[in-house]
Amino acid sequence: MRRRLQLQLQLRSSTLAALTLLVLAGCAGTTDPFEAFERTPVAIEGESFLDGETLAQRVKQMRRAQRDLRYFQASLESLRRHERGEEIAQLADFLRRYMDGPVAEVLSNRKESWSPQLTQLDANLLFTQAHLTVDLRDEARLTALIQAIETRFEGMDQLVVQYPIGHENTLADAFRHLEGALETL
């Protein structure tokens, strides 16, 4: 019985020592030991997923922006077929402002890209924007979009996206297509 009590005390002491080390390790590098604990909820809160009505609204905004870009793409192609130079220039100017305004606003909240429901929509919207940018022959904007895609989806090479438009590819394959398009500009 006495041996058993000694083992229980040793186990408790070891557990207490391990927990103390964990707490000290968590507080290392800060002058305020409670700062480490205060930061934890903020990090979790910053990476939380959207839910309910907010998520549904965000999905709707992203799908609408992607649909609009595809309609503008078709309009641009139609104007090119009919050789309507002045209208092409006007549409191109509008599209640049549209991508810098409403589309950029939809894409602006980066933490929402971490929501599983929005990651693929986010990638598809960026690739649709990049596809339209290729048609606008805007090399600087395309280079910036490629860098944004690289940064935003680093390590997600197996994510399935719709690029080239109408085809499903992994992010890595779609990215190679996009880089190939950049070389043609």
| DSSP run (H or E) holding 161 | strand 160-162
pLDDT at position 112: 52
Instruction: Verify that 31 and 57 share a domain, yes or no.
Output: no
Instruction: Verify that 166 and 78 share a domain, yes or no.
Output: yes
* Whole-structure pTM value: 0.69
Q: Tell which wins on pLDDT, 167 or 17.
A: 167
Mean pLDDT, residues 113-122 taken together: 77
Instruction: Verify that 83 and 147 share a domain, yes or no.
Output: yes
Helices and strands per DSSP (H, E), number in the chain: 8, 2
CA-angle at 148, arms to 132 and 151, nearest 5°: 145
* Domain span including residue 73: 52-184
Distance of CA 103 to the CA centre of its chain: 14
Residue 144 — very low, low, confident or very high, per pLDDT cuts 50/70/90? very high
- Do residues 125 and 103 make contact, with C-beta atoms less than 8 angstroms apart? yes
pLDDT at position 18: 43
Instruction: Verify that 20 and 100 share a domain, yes or no.
Output: no
- Do residues 159 and 171 make contact, with C-beta atoms less than 8 angstroms apart? yes
